[in-house]
Structure 1
Amino acid sequence: MNQTRARRTSRTIAAGVATLLAASLAAAVPGTPAAADPPSDLRCAGLALGSTGLPGLRDQIPSVDPNRGIGAISPASAKLPKDVVFEDGRHAISNAYAFALRRGTLHVRDADAGRAKKGSRWHRLTLPSCLQGAITSVSADHELLTVTTTDGQLYSHDMPGNDLSAQRWTWRWGPFLWLGAGMKMFPGVVDWSISSFNANETFTDSAGRRHHPIGVATGYLLRKDRRTITYIDPWLPVDESREMCGPRRGRLILASLDASGSTVLAAGTDGSLWTRLYDFDVSGANSMAGSYTWQRDVAPDSAAFQLPAPGWKRQPTPPGAVTDRVTIVKTGTDASDRELRVEGRNRKGRNGWWRKQIGASSWRFTASGRSLAGKVLKAHTELATSRDRRYVGSIAGAPAVVSNFNSACSGADLAVKLDGATLNLRLHSEDVLRQVERGPGLDDVPRQYNAAIEIPGTTWRNLSKAPPAVRSFVASHLDGQITEVPISVTATRLRMRYQCWEFTLDGAPARADRPADPLDVGLLLNAFKEVPAQGKLASC
């Protein structure tokens, strides 16, 4: 056996051993999800050893395909476009390629942000036999390519060095470390997009500090109610528990979305356009690898990500009609380097598409000479019913109300009654690390959040002029402008776990908590990070 082949063999064995070790660990460690969803097509079983997502091995396993996954030239009958302008489930854009899905198979072309490179041609993508003809949708970003198949299975390919070799495909998804037992797309998903945000890129947090991301892959799923955005991550449990709060506090009805580099572009059914930087790491949930702060007086060079995470930004409206076809693509290594694209019609009645950089104030129009493929959006805002909840209780004996807590949307009003005066505060909350599946929203199993009480800026600056009862309360029970108060919340109860302050839904008796089962390793890791900050273990 020659040395090259020996290296290939040893690395393939190493990949297999890593996967088997992870599977054994998952079976042995309490708190590991029991649910598994590998592919129903047994021909794909071997893709458990695909190199995508293997810790430490991704760039080390060479391709066994001299053509690196690039197959024969695509036939004219496939009717493939010159450029891919929009990602729409049948077309996708990575940092080096454009992809097109036709009759269950993928075609690929060298491209820059979807625009064909000079001299490039469409080629069939060489796929594992079990994927050939079975693909139903495709999404890509940077070096991550994902597809779903006729049985709903999600497959991923991390294209190291732009290598598209078939050996790299895998159906693994979920804990631990992208070594989980796979995922089938949830029912009721009307639009979805994959995103890749790499550690060599940069972003600016909500306090204006610049950081490198930890490195994260995220899928954003628009659900059938067209207001809920579920997000998934290959290192997290395969469940529907993680939600990205939509525009207008999750009330705006959305027509479509797309994502790139953890930035989501969403279109309301009213034609409004919104962008937000958000993922598991930026949100503040990655207590294992991330450093976060709620405090405001932080050094400009602090490595801690500021909480709460950045919110939605409404983008200017293009000066003409728009459709529900929207796309966001990377144009550089910073989160500000994103091009937004929206199909539409200008005021002269010409069809085409609008584009601009994410931070630009105006749009440029490119005529296409073709009919509009998307649905024209009308300027009529649709807002769904609020999902806010009112919890009533007390803080240190003083009556208090959290008037609008939302399980997915940070920022609730907290009012405390003090001898005829009212102290109005803000309660911020962000999700935490979990490694066990749970359902969406709130139920009777306590859901934990990283949280903080904020004294609004005006109140804080004028505290010396506040009534004595307010000044005394702040001095005795709060830690300054920001007080960290990790909370656990059920459908009928809200607890501040270290202070032991408790609220119930509308002040009514709460149902008994239902214990989480099994023990969640993720929550334990989160608790270990809490103790140094709080100086004690949670007692409630």
Structure 2
Amino acid sequence: MRRHMLAAAALLAAALAPATPAAAASGPCQPIGTAGLADLIPGDSTLGLSDLPPAPAGVDLPQQIHLRGTAETFNRRWSFALRGGLVYVKEASQSGGWRTMSLPGCLAGHVTGVSVDDDELVAVDEEGRIYTMDHALNAPWTWNWTHRFGAPLWLGGGNTVPYHSARWTWSVLSPGEDKVWRDTAGNDHPVGAAKVSHVFALSEDGSRITYVDPWLPADHSYEMATPKGGRFQARALSTTASTSFVVNQYGDMYTRLYDFDISGSDKVFFGYSYADQRGATFPKIQLPAPDWARQPKIPGEVTDRISVHKTGPGSNARELRVEGRDQGRTGYWSKALTAPGWTFTATDEPLSGQLLQNTPDDRSDDTLAAPSPYGYAGAAGAVSARVDAFDPAVAATPLTLRAGGQELRVTLHTVDGLRQTAHAPGLSSDPRSFYGNIEVPQTVLDHLDSYDPALRSLVRDRLTGARFTDSDVTVTDKALAIARLDLRLDRV
């Protein structure tokens, strides 16, 4: 979530706060850091680089890194490579010249994954614990580490990569590099006074994406739905500046702009609206958040090694890359986020990803995960209601209302609420609160007099005849309650 005016207070608190028992239990390591604060003004200085020892001659390191992953990664200034539990660094613009990074003692030799975006780098150890290095767009002498992660204010006792997944990625949306992002109404919104930082991770079957944010509770409860209503099964995931990129086993690719703030969850700092914000003088953030956009198929061989990186300000300034082969030569396919087609760049390096069955036709529906098992039904007076396959990661769910033999279908929009205490993943007996909104189709409002009196009364009285109406929504694994409709549905 965005840091705003709390950034300076967070730095002071970090300097004064002792390591907590939770931090000690998870392996304390560099408890004080400046991750999450506005970065130093980026420059071209390499001060401190020459103090790092050259990489040993026997370490196999590339001349250049072309794709971001968790073994090799890059930002605008630096390239990083993981080998044997250690991390090596060089200037991204230079060919070769690798040096051995300085790591905290508890992390050196134990790194299993590394990912950099913008001015922050994340390293993960064998237990999946997250460590953050700040000022990654600046000179090496400014780099500093912290194991702290989670509420409050990036001062929590630490967190781990969800699912203990090897398919994770680090994303940073910043005011310095990205400046603005664009909502579905076409309005550009400033990133804010500080950054939005998430680790995104794929579940084992590739159908769920969980994210952890260093200012949110240190749990694994926040999710972003995959394409196809959360049922698409991805083979790989890459994210930069809140733009995620996924691919399935048939080479079907999708991208999405999404994070905690963009989703509609950060009502403390931002105004959101489901009503059309196009042309508004002071537009709110348009909801629902941008959905997945299907990318064109690549006309050649591809692997599951995919990458996205930022190329300039604005949420469309992204480049997609996919490792592959064309006419017998290895390299990568690339395109700007909104470009209509792909081009191939030969590197003649061995392929390191797994080849996909890249078919020219769309096979996104061929490997869908099972729908959510959570269905609910109930009644309020003469009106019965039903919700099928409710998924906490999916932003829009059909809500079917019936009375007098008539059926009225509306949309129940839900986004995770802001919380500072941990919650179990998914649905459980612990009530989960959502910011909800009930959307009534305009065609229904235009012909409301033709509906059963009970349905007509519900729309006019409970929803004030409006197209969009906010409502708190509370869900457990046994019940779903919609406050505005005074409606409680039980699990079926």
TM-score, normalising length: structure 1: 0.80
Amino acid in structure 1 at the alignment position of 2:197: A
Residue 41 (structure 1) shift: 5.3
Tell me which of 54, 65, 68 is aligned to 1:84.
65
CA pair 430-317 structure 1, distance change in 2 beyond 3 A: same
Which shifted more, 303-312 or 168-177? 303-312
Q: Is 2:180–2:190's contact at 8 Å kept on the other side of the alignment?
A: yes
Distance in 1 of aligned mates of 2:79 and 2:406? 61
Counterpart residue number, 1:342: 322
**Aligned to 2:235, what secondary structure does the other structure show?**
strand
Cα deviation, 1:121-146, whole Å, max 9, x if unaligned, reads: 22222233333322221001011111
Residue 401 (structure 1) shift: 1.4
Which shifted more, 215-224 or 178-187? 178-187
Counterpart residue number, 1:122: 98
Residue 261 (structure 1) shift: 0.2
Counterpart residue number, 2:473: 487
Residue 478 (structure 1) shift: 1.4
1:414-433 aligned at under 5 Å gives the runs 414-433=399-418
1:338-417 aligned at under 5 Å gives the runs 338-346=318-326, 348-378=327-357, 379=359, 381-387=366-372, 389-395=374-380, 397-417=382-402
Amino acid in structure 2 at the alignment position of 1:284: G
Which shifted more, 208-217 or 218-227? 208-217
Distance in 2 of aligned mates of 1:471 and 1:297? 27
Q: Is 1:228–1:243's contact at 8 Å kept on the other side of the alignment?
A: yes
Residue 322 (structure 1) shift: 1.4
Q: Does 1:496 align with 2:482?
A: yes
Residue 375 (structure 1) shift: 0.9
CA pair 84-458 structure 1, distance change in 2 beyond 3 A: farther
Counterpart residue number, 1:511: none
Residue 332 (structure 1) shift: 0.8
**Aligned to 1:74, what secondary structure does the other structure show?**
coil
Distance in 1 of aligned mates of 2:338 and 2:351? 26
Residue 446 (structure 1) shift: 1.0
Residue 95 (structure 1) shift: 2.3
Tell me which of 202, 217, 225 is aligned to 1:245.
225
**Aligned to 1:36, what secondary structure does the other structure show?**
helix
Residue 404 (structure 1) shift: 3.2
Q: Which runs of 5+ in 1 are unaligned?
A: 1-13, 28-34, 507-540
Tell me which of 32, 43, 52 is aligned to 2:35.
52
Residue 259 (structure 1) shift: 0.5
Counterpart residue number, 1:291: 271
Q: Does 1:453 align with 2:432?
A: no
**Aligned to 1:101, what secondary structure does the other structure show?**
strand
Q: Does 1:103 align with 2:84?
A: yes
Amino acid in structure 2 at the alignment position of 1:191: R
Q: Does 1:436 align with 2:421?
A: yes
Tell me which of 239, 242, 253 is aligned to 1:259.
239
Distance in 1 of aligned mates of 2:402 and 2:422? 39
Q: Is 1:39–1:153's contact at 8 Å kept on the other side of the alignment?
A: no
Residue 273 (structure 1) shift: 0.6
**Aligned to 2:13, what secondary structure does the other structure show?**
helix
Cα deviation, 1:5-37, whole Å, max 9, x if unaligned, reads: xxxxxxxxx99862265569xx9xxxxxxx824
**Aligned to 1:281, what secondary structure does the other structure show?**
helix
**Aligned to 1:129, what secondary structure does the other structure show?**
coil
1:176-191 aligned at under 5 Å gives the runs 176-191=152-167
Cα deviation, 1:36-67, whole Å, max 9, x if unaligned, reads: 2447656x3xx1123333x57x649xxxx951
1:188-337 aligned at under 5 Å gives the runs 188-200=164-176, 201-214=179-192, 215-296=195-276, 300-337=280-317
Residue 325 (structure 1) shift: 0.3
Distance in 2 of aligned mates of 1:357 and 1:395? 51
Counterpart residue number, 1:152: 128
Which shifted more, 389-398 or 282-291? 389-398
Amino acid in structure 1 at the alignment position of 2:477: A
CA pair 455-498 structure 1, distance change in 2 beyond 3 A: closer
Cα deviation, 1:434-463, whole Å, max 9, x if unaligned, reads: 111111111111100011111124434x33
**Aligned to 1:322, what secondary structure does the other structure show?**
strand
Q: Is 2:78–2:137's contact at 8 Å kept on the other side of the alignment?
A: no
Q: Which runs of 5+ in 2 are unaligned?
A: 1-8
Amino acid in structure 2 at the alignment position of 1:412: T
Residue 161 (structure 1) shift: 5.2
Percent of residue pairs bearing the same amino acid type: 33
CA pair 86-398 structure 1, distance change in 2 beyond 3 A: same
Q: Does 1:19 align with 2:5?
A: no
Q: Is 1:37–1:182's contact at 8 Å kept on the other side of the alignment?
A: yes
Q: CA RMSD in A?
A: 2.6
Counterpart residue number, 1:519: none
Counterpart residue number, 2:459: 474
Q: Is 2:134–2:143's contact at 8 Å kept on the other side of the alignment?
A: no
**Aligned to 2:31, what secondary structure does the other structure show?**
helix
Distance in 1 of aligned mates of 2:152 and 2:441? 40
CA pair 385-159 structure 1, distance change in 2 beyond 3 A: same
Counterpart residue number, 2:491: 505
Q: Is 2:237–2:244's contact at 8 Å kept on the other side of the alignment?
A: yes
Larger Cα-atom Rg:
1
Distance in 2 of aligned mates of 1:465 and 1:349? 66
Q: Is 1:50–1:170's contact at 8 Å kept on the other side of the alignment?
A: yes
**Aligned to 2:367, what secondary structure does the other structure show?**
coil
Distance in 2 of aligned mates of 1:441 and 1:310? 22
Distance in 2 of aligned mates of 1:16 and 1:362? 45
Cα deviation, 1:154-213, whole Å, max 9, x if unaligned, reads: 110121651333761111101111111112334441300000001342111122221123
Counterpart residue number, 1:10: none
CA pair 228-464 structure 1, distance change in 2 beyond 3 A: closer
How many residues matched?
468
Tell me which of 128, 131, 143 is aligned to 2:119.
143
**Aligned to 2:303, what secondary structure does the other structure show?**
strand
**Aligned to 1:71, what secondary structure does the other structure show?**
coil
Distance in 2 of aligned mates of 1:243 and 1:419? 38
TM-score, normalising length: structure 2: 0.88
Counterpart residue number, 1:518: none
Which shifted more, 377-386 or 167-176? 377-386
